[in-house]
Structure 1
Amino acid sequence: MKFVKMQGAGNDYVYVDCFKEKIKNPSEIAIKVSDRHFGVGSDGLILICPSDIADVKMDMYNADGSRGLMCGNGARCVAKYAYDHGYVKSENFTMETGAGIKYIKVEPKDGKAEYINVNMGKAVITSEFPEKILINGEEKEFIGVDIGNPHAVYYIDSLEKLQNMDLNRVGEYYEKHERFSQKVNSEFIYIKDRKNIYMRVWERGSGETLACGTGACASAFATMKKGACDTSVRVHLLGGDLDISLENDEIYMRGKAEYVFTGEINF
């Protein structure tokens, strides 16, 4: 199986060009390639596929083999690959995802996609505002957001506390809490000012990652609805920055996507 490893803000996946390759057991392959010691090493597997209803299709699988609905950083990487390899013929095109059709705009440089803008659609608040919850014996508050996949946004009152959180120890208590029947992506946010927020994320099925595009959008949206930031905000993640804006009730994400390396693996 030929593959390319790509990353968006440090959120890295193994990508397979299914215009050329055929994958029979993607869930099983996702587990194998994601292993950072015995596999390629990634947050999951994403298949770049033809689509009957859009210009290109993204089919994603988490590191534990579970199927994902949407990945904002993954969408940017798929967009870059499809544009750079001529699978789409315009700087504006559509992408089929598990969360519906997404609208892409590429900002090219020297004939290759440099920045990618994704119209992530509308987000919905799915909880009380905020809602109290007991996590591992401690009372917390979160704001639930659905942006094609479920998120719970928690606010931390200092950057130091955010940086010192031991997510490897407590992350699963958030992800697998009984409040969330299908598990949940959990974002932890520090608001620096009205134009900058800092974020760490525990993704369902993958654990802590360096970035999560849908999580950045969900966190920005929740913070905007709180009135704590502007309708255009920069989200600082462990792997890089994303610019998130709200226009006519739709969320837009802008950021880069980059190739890491290509390879071939036998199973």
Structure 2
Amino acid sequence: MQFTKWHGLGNDFVIVNGMEEQIADYQQQAIAVCDRNFGIGADGLVMLLPSDIADFKMRIFNSDGSEADMCGNATRCVARYLYENKLTAKTVITLDTLAGIITPELIFKNGTLATVKVDMGLPRLKRGEIPISGNPEEQVISMPLAIDGETYHITCVSMGNPHCLIFVNDITKVDLALIGPKIETHTLFPKKTNVEFLQIIDRKTIRMRVWERGAGITKACGTGASAALVAAVLNGCTDRQATVKLDGGDLYLEWAANNHIYKSGPAVEVFRGNYLL
């Protein structure tokens, strides 16, 4: 199986052209491929497939085999992969995902790719849209949640996938490996959730660490960064444009007047090769 390995701020993916490569079981292949000791090593396997409603279909499988609705970092990598491998001549590409149509744009300066900008779509704030148990019409903004005797104030947002965001004064004191999975699998979240801890640096800067649903601690999360800006604005912490600083680097986010979230950041190819099935 031919593959290429990419990352967006250290959030890494194995991308496979499913229009040429045949895989019988995506879930089991993702588990094998993403293993960092016995496989290629990645946070997820990304399959590119034909679509009747967009330029391409993008399916994303986490390292545990579960399928993700969307991934912002993977989207940037896929856009650059498609363009540089001449699978499309477009610089604005439509991708069919479980979260709907996502539109990445390759931004060039003086003939060189400067960044990949992704229209992440509309944030969804109602419990029923996220989903989170309770009144489906309510929003969850700074709601107390008790875990192991400690109370966290959570804000919940969907960017096509669920996010639980928690503001802290010192992010270095958060034991993400301990608390992340407990919130991810809490009964409040019927489809589990991504978990982000946020420290506000100033009105235009957020520090974020993430526990991803199905993948664990990752260096970056594009949908999480998008949700972070929404949560920060809803809680009166930042302006509608901000830099989100992740373990793997920085993403620039804007919650625009049309209510869409726009995210810009890098996408880097690491290597390519043949995986021996």
* TM-score normalized by the length of structure 1: 0.95
Q: Which residue of 1 aligns with 2:219?
A: 210
Name the amino acid aligned to 2:161.
N
**What does residue 149 of structure 2 align with?**
137
Work out the CA distance in 2 between the residues paired with 1:90 and 1:209. Answer: 30
Q: Which of residues 156, 170, 174 in structure 1 aligns to 2:179?
A: 170
Q: Name the structure 2 match of 1:73.
A: 73
Report the TM-score when normalising by structure 2: 0.92
Residue 94 of structure 1 aligns with an amino acid whose one-letter code is: T
In 2, the alpha carbon distance for the partners of 1:133 and 1:169 equals 16
- Between 1:232-241 and 1:19-28, the stretch displaced more is 19-28
Q: Does 1:128 align with 2:128?
A: no
Letter in 2 for 1:144: C
2:263 equivalent to 1:253: yes
Seen in structure 2, the aligned counterparts of structure 1 residues 114 and 4 have a Cα distance that, compared at 3 Å, is: farther
Distance of 1:112 and 1:136 partners within structure 2: 51
Q: Distance in 2 between matches of 1:12 and 1:52?
A: 28
How has the CA–CA distance of structure 1 residues 112 and 17 changed in structure 2, closer, same or farther, with 3 Å as cutoff? Answer: farther
Report how many aligned residue pairs link the two structures: 264
Q: Partner of 1:148 in structure 2?
A: 160
SS of 1:23 mapped into structure 2: coil
The answer as to whether partners of 1:80 and 1:113 remain within 8 angstroms in 2 is no
The answer to whether the 8 Å contact 2:141/2:234 transfers is: no
- Report what 1:222 is aligned to: 231
What does 1:4-23 correspond to in 2, within 5 Å? 4-23=4-23
How far 1:165 moved relative to its partner?
A: 2.1
Decide whether the 8 Å contact of 1:114 with 1:257 is kept in 2: no
Contact 2:3–2:272 (8 Å) recurs in 1 = yes
Q: Are 1:181 and 2:212 matched, yes or no?
A: no
Structure 2 residues without counterparts, runs of 5 or longer: 128-138
- Please tell me whether the aligned partners of residues 83 and 113 of structure 1 are also in contact (alpha carbons under 8 angstroms): no
1:18: how far off? 1.6
- 1:123 partner SS: coil
* Offset at residue 114 of structure 1 (A): 4.0
Q: Which consecutive aligned stretches of 4+ in structure 1 deviate over 3 angstroms post-superposition?
A: 108-114
**Per the alignment, in what secondary structure is the counterpart of residue 88 of structure 1?**
coil
Mark the runs of 5 or more structure 1 residues left unpaired by the alignment: none
Output the CA distance in 2 between the equivalents of 1:31 and 1:90.
32
Which letter maps to 1:128? V
Q: Greater strand percent: which structure?
A: 1
Q: 1:110 to 1:47 in 2, by over 3 A?
A: farther
Pair 1:221–1:230, CA change in 2 (3 A): same
1:58-89 deviation line (CA, Å, top 9, x unaligned): 11001100011000000001111011112222
Task: Tell me by how many angstroms 1:110 deviates.
Answer: 7.8
- Residue of structure 2 equivalent to 1:47: 47
